[in-house]
Amino acid sequence: EVQLVESGGGLVQPRGSLRLSCTASGFTFGDCAMSWVRQAPGKGLEWVGLIRSKAHGGTTEYAASAAGRFTISRDDSKSIAYLQMNSLKTDDTAVYYCARRSTLLEDFFDYWGQGTLVTVSS
């Protein structure tokens, strides 16, 4: 059974940093691209960024709102994807989901984690 479990959320002050983890199981993690998607309270879904598999270069792409502040990485030996968030703003308050790219190698998401809440507030 495919499972994605996010962790690392919490309360952080503006301009602070936080690292989220997404621990995967039930599939060959190293073969899959992973994305982070966030949802501000009461709002819609916003794609944050993705990391491709090593076979596809392990490259990353980011939304404009995340570029330069957020970094996605992966540790295939541990089946974990990370989202390092720096220079956090109150607008970054959201539930952060990790999501698996479909096995058809296209960027829609066939599995999602339950999410972890990040609150940026002083």
Task: Give dist(CA 60, CA 52) in Å, integer.
Answer: 6
Q: For residue 117, what are the CA distances in angstroms to 9, 49, 70? A: 5, 17, 16
Among positions 9, 63, 76, 117, the unique one binding other proteins when judged by CB under 8 A: 63
Q: Are strands 116-120 and 10-12 parallel, antiparallel or unpaired?
A: parallel
Among positions 115, 116, 118, 120, the unique one binding other proteins when judged by CB under 8 A: 115
Among residue numbers 43 through 62, which ones bind other proteins (CB under 8 A)? 44-47, 50, 61-62
Q: Which is nearer to other proteins, 66 or 85 (CB)?
A: 66
Give the up-direction half-sphere exposure of residue 21: CA atoms within 13 A in the CB hemisphere: 9
Minimum CB distance to other proteins, residue 47 (Å): 4
Residues that bind other proteins (CB under 8 A): 35, 37, 44-47, 50, 61-64, 97, 102, 104, 106-110, 112-115
